[in-house]
Structure 1
């Protein structure tokens, strides 16, 4: 079996994402997939999973090769909390099942990439804090967090990774540019697999602000 590049998207689907924000996220993910499908390297190795989190946490797309991927339905409740800590817990459990580990006889999958997006902050803060060291101890090639919209908070995300980015609006154009940039990171990860343990990110579009 060929070595895969696992890519996990954790998408906030809490009540505040209802309407235009979540529709824009869907447009953005579709644009990312369309870019990756035009990359022959990505077609060979990239596998994508989507986990959504609000009051409930669901893996709506198990790790799937991009040429077989059908975009799942992403729904948002009317209201409710943002259980980001639970989402990180589910991420580690699904990775345990889905990502092939290397043995002496054969090499496992490449180190996964994690992209997390929220328009708020974790409601389950105790669980989130419990998960931070576990995520850091897991071998990710990169962890990129996006705080999207005027109410998104970056303090907690900065505990998770030093790659925290902020976008001011949740409109389709901005999110398409963000996800196009994500596809560039995935493409870069694909090219540099095995060459380096630390993935160098391409510069973000001007709508995406680096949080220092």
Structure 2
């Protein structure tokens, strides 16, 4: 069975401390639980989770969905949002992870990338460079979520195919966000091998599609 690699990039900068990061932890559990109810996702999806603040950390390397064990995601008391560094680190990881097709094997399906951030990238020059680099990696879709009042959609436009806005950052809102992400992944599974489309399932009312 060909793999569908899914990469989650989660902002853990200082502004995410408290209820927001607790809501992200709950939301990720919602995501994994929903995907495991889909037999085809259970067979094909391989997931990796990376966090970014002053550093970029891969907390789950690319792992079959059934074997994913979610650690407790934490955040420092303060610190920058080094999204450019995270993308640079991710690019190295994707190049190693994703099996390209050849005459001998079909390789993996094109990967998905989901990014959640509540602020502006601190490393703006590196971020701009990495936005270009990400476009060369062959993602099926890059979906960004601007969470909270400080996150700006315009910062994500050079990177993402789709951008959604989450105005509140409580557990209910994040649960709906990650449930919707599971629907995107599941719909991607069902469309594998057919004509490629970048349309997304309709989001719940709490999530506004802005791009």
SS of 2:2's partner is coil
In the alignment, structure 2 segments of 5+ residues that lack a partner are: none
The offset of 1:125, in angstroms, is: 0.3
Q: Paired residue for 1:117?
A: 116
Q: Within 2, Cα distance between the matches of 1:133 and 1:197?
A: 22
Q: Paired residue for 2:97?
A: 98
The offset of 1:107, in angstroms, is: 0.6
Q: Paired residue for 1:164?
A: 163
- 1:142–1:198 Cα contact (<8 Å) kept: no
TM-score (norm 2): 0.97
Q: Within 1, Cα distance between the matches of 2:74 and 2:173?
A: 21
- 2:148–2:167 Cα contact (<8 Å) kept: yes
Q: Paired residue for 2:194?
A: 195
Q: Which runs of 4+ in 1 moved over 3 A?
A: none
Q: Within 1, Cα distance between the matches of 2:130 and 2:95?
A: 15
Q: CA RMSD in A?
A: 1.0
Q: Paired residue for 2:139?
A: 140
Q: Paired residue for 1:107?
A: 106
SS of 1:137's partner is coil
Q: Within 1, Cα distance between the matches of 2:147 and 2:115?
A: 10
Aligned residues: 211
Q: Paired residue for 1:77?
A: 76
In the alignment, structure 1 segments of 5+ residues that lack a partner are: none
The offset of 1:136, in angstroms, is: 1.4
Q: Within 2, Cα distance between the matches of 1:132 and 1:113?
A: 15
The offset of 1:100, in angstroms, is: 1.2
